[in-house]
Amino acid sequence: MNDLRERLVEKISKKQKILSIYLTAGFPEADSTVSLLRAIAENGADLIELGVPFSDPQADGPVIQQASQKALDAGMRVAKVFSILQEFRCFSTVPVILMGYANPFMKYGWRRCAEEAAAAGANGFIIPDLPPEESGDLTRLCRTNGLDQIYLITPVTPVTRIELINSLTSGFIYAVSITGVTGERRELPLETIQFLRRLRKTSRHPVLVGFGVSNQETAKSLAAESDGVIIGSAIIRLIAESKNTGEACEKVKAFVWMIKDSLGEIA
Amino acid sequence: MDGNLSKIKASRFPDEFGRFGKYGGRYVPEILMPAVTELTQEYEKVKNDLQFIKILAQLHSQYSGRPNPLTFADRLTAVTGGAKIYLKREDLNHTGAHKINNVLGQLLLAQRMGKTRIIAETGAGQHGVATATVAAKFGLDCHVYMGEVDTLRQRLNVFRMQYLGAEVIPVKTGSRTLKDAINEAIRDWVTNVKNTFYCIGSVVGMHPYPMIVRDFQSIIGQETRQQHQAAEGRLPDAVVACVGGGSNAMGMFYPFLDDKKVKLFGVEAGGRGNDEGEHAATLSLGEPGILHGMFTYMLQTEDGQVADVHSISAGLDYSGVGPEHSWLKDTGRACYTAVDDAQALEAMALLARTEGIIPALESAHAVALAVQLAGKMGREESLVICLSGRGDKDMESVFDLAQKGGADE
């Protein structure tokens, strides 16, 4: 049963901020993913975005690109992501959204994807290169399989389009903090805050902010203007810098704790 | 909608959703949606703007040297003993290829839109050189993404771009060729979308690019119609063009789409063989998928990852192809075949020695198929090869191959 939205709404009603963590499936190798997912889930993440790797990830910066390539080289495939998720579900109920590009899913078959994702315990999909105009097939299949489909809104999205996405997204809205690709940023422009304030006034869904969130400062300042933050590249970099899965899990655990802690301060 | 071209005009596509049949569309990150919508609106405005059309026509005649001739290749025709072969001489354009037709149009549009920063991707370097050239002429800031592998095999073009004042950014991700250069250009566009115009080099990418580039390249086919009419009193029986992304082919084909008697042949790069990674024969050997914002035939692995490609010609080795070509293939309006590296090299030499014209390796693929076709056609028939570019840029690599004694690297 997909309880993503209830969980997020409950958090928000308790005036708590949501922390979502992104992880590329199969990076640095298939065997490390379940351990890393557990380290993330058991140390305070409210939501996980599990990246399904693609050879040509247009919306991602160098850190996630390289992780994706490494995962593919190590043999990660769509079917394998589902089996990893299924294994993770033996340990945890933390919601998991599959995040990947359209072509590997389409090649696998949209129907098969939606059915197997739901069976494996996924809560939904985020597909950055599948805007509302192109996602008819998947939208239908998500509904019949009880999955959420999350769309992105960016600082350049016009008001009329925000309204459209508001009506189509389910689960939450993924607010892109800046114009650009994923990756860590030292500081975020002032207009990001203005954008989030505007968006929050009109959104009928929880608003989580991603792209460029890399440390306590950026997490705090963005969470203050939204319902929570999404962190990806910073986590991937920590894993890349680790010698083995054990060390990676320790680093990830400490990082998630630290961010969670700083989000607690503004709750 | 597919498959029944007898009742519909092929030339009226794409539809309002940017679709050619089921192909095309806009599979882009949300951040680009306002930019592609704005681009579509601005393009629709200038398309029929007499002032815009007049300035573009002036640039064609006074800057890039149009109309270029339709040359009767009498000695090549004699070799085949069949149909009369004509060459549409895009190689004689300023910068030596058809690419400038599109760049002049797009950068004029960029100026209209008040965008001062231009980005482009390039494979062989021809589109990059054309973009750097027109950016210099218009006083625009120009940045060209080029796969690192391509910067090495086309280093003279890298220098040409730099000499013209453009920045060339070698792309070191993925296979380090054209598809990766497009990815990086899209990432740049996503980041700098407010002031940047992405001048895409072929009939690929998200709507409206396949339409815009086709329209700007259509001058090739329009001139060919008139010139062939003047020379032979009728339209040609066939036209032949090479297809990487497919812009010179679309430019040649489009004005003939509704003339069903004119057969359209697209020639892809057969490379070294049919195994994955050994060719770039997207329409011949690929299957539909989503790449670079479009639904189109593409070369992919069984897991849906973008496959690596090979061609002796840097301008043809692309894993995707323009969506309109995918549609023309499925409807049967155009035929697509592949010509391998060795055949292309042979055709390059043949054209050089019979006509005194050294074609680009890309165009040599079209020459190779045309020679085969002409031999099977009657002497009263005629065909036109789109000679999309000149071969000067390829002399160094052909020289290296000759030293090694073969097409295999």
pLDDT value, residue A188: 78
Please state the separation of Cα A128 from the chain's center in Å.
Answer: 11
Of the partner residues A106, A108, A131, the one whose CB lies closest to the CB of residue B26: A131
* Residue B3 confidence class, pLDDT cut points 50, 70, 90: very low
CA distance B257 to B362: 23
- Which of B17, B22, B28, B30 is the best mutation test for A, with the most CBs of A within 10 A? B30
Q: How far apart are CA B117 and CA B110, in angstroms?
A: 9
Give the strand pairing for B263-271 and B117-122: unpaired
Measured in residues, chain A has a length of 267
- CB B146 within 8 Å of CB B111: no
Query: Number of CB pairs < 8 Å for A and B?
Result: 107
For chain A, say whether B34 makes contact (Cβ under 8 Å).
yes
According to the model, what pLDDT value does residue A136 have?
85
B19 touches chain A (CB under 8 A): no
Which chain B residue has the Cα nearest residue A57? B183
Q: What pLDDT score does B340 carry?
A: 97
Are the C-beta atoms of residues B299 and B309 closer than 8 Å to each other?
yes
Chain A CB within 8 Å of residue B407 CB: no
B401 contact A CB<8A: no
**Phi, psi (deg, nearest 5) at residue A106:** -65, -40
**C-alpha dihedral, B91 to B93 to B99 to B101, nearest 10°:** -140
Give Cα B355 distance to the centre of its chain. 23
What are the catalytic residues of B?
Answer: 99, 121, 388
Instruction: Determine the Cα–Cα distance for residues B329 and A101; give it in Å rounded to an integer.
Output: 26
Residues of A annotated as catalytic are 49, 60
**Which pLDDT score, from 0 to 100, does residue B155 have?**
87
Mutation for testing the B interface, residue in A103, A110, A163 having most B CBs under 10 Å: A103
pLDDT given at position B194: 87
Give the model's confidence band at B1: pLDDT under 50 very low, under 70 low, under 90 confident, else very high. Answer: very low
3-state DSSP helix/strand/coil % of chain B, to nearest 5: 45, 20, 35
- B186 reaches A (C-beta below 8 A): yes
**How big is chain A by its Cα radius of gyration, in Å?**
17
What is the nearest CA distance from B30 to chain A, expressed in angstroms? 6
In 10 A of CB A256, how many CB atoms? 21
Q: Is A176 helix (H, G, I), strand (E, B) or coil?
A: strand
Q: Which amino acid is at A158?
A: P
Which has more confidence, B194 or B38?
Answer: B38
What local confidence, expressed as pLDDT, does residue B409 receive?
Answer: 43
Is residue B407 over pLDDT 60?
A: no
* Contact yes or no for B217/B241 (Cβ under 8 A): no
Residue of A54, A55, A168 to mutate when probing chain B, most B C-beta within 10 A: A55
pLDDT in tens, B136-181: 999 999 999 999 988 988 888 999 999 999 999 999 988 888 899 9
C-alpha pair distances (Å), B43 with each of B23, B83, B137, B228 = 21, 40, 21, 30
pLDDT score of A189 more than 90: no
Give the closest-approach CA distance of B360 to chain A in angstroms.
29
How many angstroms from the chain centroid is the CA of residue A92? 17
**Residue A12: exposure state from Cβ atoms within 10 A (0-12, 13-18, ≥19):** middle
Residue A69 touches chain B, beta carbons under 8 Å:
yes
Give residue B7's pLDDT: 60
Mean pLDDT of the B245-261 span:
97
Q: Which residues of chain B make contact with A185, given a CB cutoff of 8 A? A: none
Q: Give A-chain residues touching B306 at CB under 8 angstroms.
A: 55-56, 103
Task: Give the gap in angstroms from C-alpha A36 to the nearest C-alpha of chain B.
Answer: 24
**Which pLDDT belongs to residue B52?**
97
Task: Report the gap between the CA of B171 and the closest CA in chain A (Å).
Answer: 12
For residues B256 and B192, give the distance between their C-alpha atoms in angstroms, rounded to a whole number.
Answer: 38
- N residues, chain B: 409
CB-based contact (8 Å) between B113 and chain A?
A: no
Q: How far apart are CA A53 and CA A33, in angstroms?
A: 13
Determine the Cα–Cα distance for residues B67 and B87; give it in Å rounded to an integer.
13
Instruction: Kindly determine whether residue B174 and residue A134, on different chains, have CB atoms separated by under 8 Å.
Output: no
At residue B152's C-alpha, the angle toward residues B151 and B156, to 5°, is 70
Residue A158 and residue B31: Cβ atoms within 8 Å?
no
- Closest residue in B to A133 (Cα) is B26
Structural domains in chain A?
A: 17-261 (3.20.20.70)
A187: confidence class by pLDDT, cuts 50, 70, 90: confident
Residue A92 touches chain B, beta carbons under 8 Å: no
> In this complex, do B186 and A58 lie within 8 Å of one another by their Cβ atoms?
yes
| Crossing angle of the two packed helices B395-404 and B341-355, in degrees rounded to 10 | 110
Q: Is B98's Cβ below 8 Å from some Cβ in A?
A: no
CB-CB neighbors (< 8 A) of A173 in chain B: none
Residue linked to tokens 């598809």 = B179
pLDDT of B61 > 90? The answer is yes
Confidence at B314, pLDDT banded by 50, 70, 90: confident
CA distances from A1 to A11, A43, A95, A171, B36 (A): 18, 23, 10, 13, 38
Q: Which amino acid is at B51?
A: Q
List of chain A residues whose C-beta atoms are within 8 Å of the C-beta of residue B192? 179
| ipTM (interface predicted TM) | 0.95
Cα B386-B390-B393 angle, rounded to 5 deg: 140
| Contact by Cβ (8 Å): B68, B347 | no
Q: Give, rounded to a whole angstrom, the gap between the first and last alpha carbons of chain B.
A: 44
Contact A129 B29 (CB under 8 A): yes
Provide CB contacts within 8 A for B246, sequence distance 6+: B202, B203, B204, B266, B321, B322, B324, B325
**Percent of chain B predicted with pLDDT > 70:** 97
CB B381 within 8 A of CB B86: no
pLDDT band at residue B230 using 50, 70 and 90 as cut-offs: very high
Residue ranges with strand state E in B32-165: 70-72, 84-89, 117-122, 141-147
Q: Give residue-wise pLDDT tens across range A155-171.
A: 999 999 999 999 999 99
Q: Are B311 and B394 in contact (CB under 8 A)?
A: no
Q: How far is CA B108 from the centre of its chain?
A: 19
